[in-house]
């Protein structure tokens, strides 16, 4: 399905609604250019999961954990160069439905394609001509 967002707030609201329907374990990929709104999407998603912690970009820490109804593992793989690197950092358990106890939500999943291959939902946020407009596409695997 597709949703046209006209503001940061609408993107967060959309993510918040999605969070209310999601059950763990679940692996969500977030695609889109720099500044598309992936981190803002996670902010709204965490609100929908009743997480109280401040959502910040894990660009340097690679992963942040927020405790909501279930744990939310927020990844930013921007600085990860390969699947080998992701494996060395011990991330594979967060992408295995048998060991995942919460939601893994991942910015820049393209940087470790094997790691995220068993994803459940792919979200793509596309910038449109208007500065605050975004096209959000949601696709479930299969
Ligand atoms: N409709 C919209 N939805 C989301 N963000 C928007 C929208 N319109 C404008 N913005 C702005 O775009 C920026 C999105 O920043 P954000 O950090 O969420 O992007 P990102 O995709 O996580 O980038 P990065 O790849 O660098 O991590 C913010 O400054 C936000 O205010
Ligand atoms: Mg980001």
pTM: 0.97
Q: Is the CB of 111 under 6 A from ligand 1?
A: no
Cα(39) to ligand 2 centroid in Å equals 4
The CATH number that applies at residue 73 is: 3.40.50.300
User: Is 129 a domain residue?
Assistant: yes
DSSP bridge partners of 28: 105, 121
User: Is 109 a domain residue?
Assistant: no
Nearest-atom number in ligand 1 for the CA of 134 is 1
The model's pLDDT over 63-117, given as tens digits with 9 standing for 90+, comes to 999 999 999 999 999 999 999 999 999 999 999 999 999 999 999 999 999 999 9
Minimal CA–CA distance to 96: which of 66, 117, 123, 68?
117
- For residue 8, pLDDT beyond 90: yes
**Number of domains into which the chain is organized:** 1
DSSP 128: -
How many percent of the chain have pLDDT more than 70?
100
Cα(8) to ligand 1 centroid in Å equals 7
The band of 59, judged by pLDDT with boundaries at 50, 70 and 90, is: confident
Integer Cα distance of 136 and 60 in angstroms: 26
User: Is 86 a domain residue?
Assistant: yes
Domain enclosing residue 26, as ranges: 2-101+120-137
Tokens 């401040």 correspond to 54
User: Is 106 a domain residue?
Assistant: no
Q: Is 49 exposed, middle or buried (0-12, 13-18, 19+ CB in 10 A)?
A: buried
């Amino acid at each position: 399905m597709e949703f046209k967002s006209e503001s940061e707030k609408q993107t967060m609201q959309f993510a918040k609604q999605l969070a209310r329907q999601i059950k763990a374990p679940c692996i969500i990929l977030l695609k889109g250019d720099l500044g598309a709104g992936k981190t803002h999407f996670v902010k709204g998603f965490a609100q929908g999961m009743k997480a109280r912690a401040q959502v910040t970009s894990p660009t340097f820490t690679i992963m942040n954990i927020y405790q909501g109804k279930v744990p939310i593992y927020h990844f930013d793989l921007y600085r990860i160069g390969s699947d080998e690197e992701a494996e060395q950092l011990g991330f594979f358990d967060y992408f295995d439905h048998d060991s995942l106890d919460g939601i893994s939500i991942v910015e820049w999943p393209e940087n470790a394609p094997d790691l995220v291959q068993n994803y459940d939902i792919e979200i793509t946020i596309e910038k449109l001509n208007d500065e605050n407009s975004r096209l959000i596409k949601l696709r479930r695997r299969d």
